[in-house]
Structure 1
C-alpha cells in the first residue's frame, strides 16, 4: 500500500484514479488541480508517490516535478499524458519522472506503473 498524491486539472480524472487506487488499497493523501497545488501538497503530505498530469494550467506537471525534486530529490512521480505527447513525456523522464501512464487510464496500467516504482 502506498500513500499517493493525485494532481490533474480534470476532476473526473482525479476521481477515476482515486477509485482505481482505493480499490487496490492505496491511501490518497491529497488531490490538486495544477502544478502549484502539486508543489504545496507534496510538501504538506510527503507522499510515497505522486501521479501528476503533464499539461495543467498555472504550472505544468514537468515544472512542478522539477520544483518538487529540487527540495525532495527522492520524490517518486508518475506523469500522466494524453496520446501524442511523446516529446513532453521524454522531457518529463529526463527531468526525473519515474514512469508515465497514458490517458485514458486502464486499471492494470496504473497499478503496474505503481508496482514498478514503489
Structure 2
C-alpha cells in the first residue's frame, strides 16, 4: 500500500523530489520535511529522472553519489528536460571539482552532509518560497 507522502501529493502543497540512496539520510529529510511538503523519493539517479517525468515537482534534491547514475549525470539529463526547476545537490563528500562540474551542469545550489537544519530550511525556502517552516 502506498503512503500519502509518497504517491498521492496533496493539492497546493510544495512537492519535493529527493534522490537519496541512503535510507538513514532520506529518513532524516523525511522527518524534517514531511509536515511542510509532499515528498517523492528516488533511490538512484535513473529513478529520479523517471519520477520527475511522472510527477509535477517544485524542487529536486539530488545526492551526488548514487548507484546506477550519479547525481551529476542525473542533473545533466534533468536539465535537458527542464532548465528552470531548482535542483539542490547534496553530498557528504563534496570536492571543489564535483561542485564545479555540478555548477556547469546546471545545479542551482549545494547542501553538505551532515545536513544543517538552518541551512536546509534557508536553501529550500530561497528557491521555493511557498515552502513554509
User: Quick check: TM above 0.5?
Assistant: yes
Unaligned ranges ≥5, structure 1: none
Separation in structure 1 between the aligned mates of residue 65 and residue 93 of structure 2, nearest angstrom = 12
Indicate the residue corresponding to 1:35 in structure 2: 45
Superposed, 1:72-87 pairs within 5 Å as 72-87=82-97
TM-score, normalisation: structure 1:
0.91
Give RMSD over aligned pairs: 1.3
Matched length: 116
Indicate the residue corresponding to 2:15 in structure 1: 3
Shift of 1:85: 2.2
Unaligned ranges ≥5, structure 2: 1-12, 129-133
Indicate the residue corresponding to 1:99 in structure 2: 109
TM-score, normalisation: structure 2:
0.81
Separation in structure 1 between the aligned mates of residue 28 and residue 96 of structure 2, nearest angstrom = 23
Separation in structure 2 between the aligned mates of residue 60 and residue 3 of structure 1, nearest angstrom = 22
- The structure that has the greater radius of gyration is 2
| Cα deviation digits, residues 38-84 of structure 1 (max 9, x gap) | 10011111210011101111100011011011011222110001144
| Cα deviation digits, residues 27-48 of structure 1 (max 9, x gap) | 21x1011100110011111210
Is the 8 Å Cα contact of residues 18 and 41 (structure 2) preserved in structure 1? yes
Is the 8 Å Cα contact of residues 4 and 49 (structure 1) preserved in structure 2? yes
Superposed, 1:14-53 pairs within 5 Å as 14-23=26-35, 25-28=36-39, 30-53=40-63
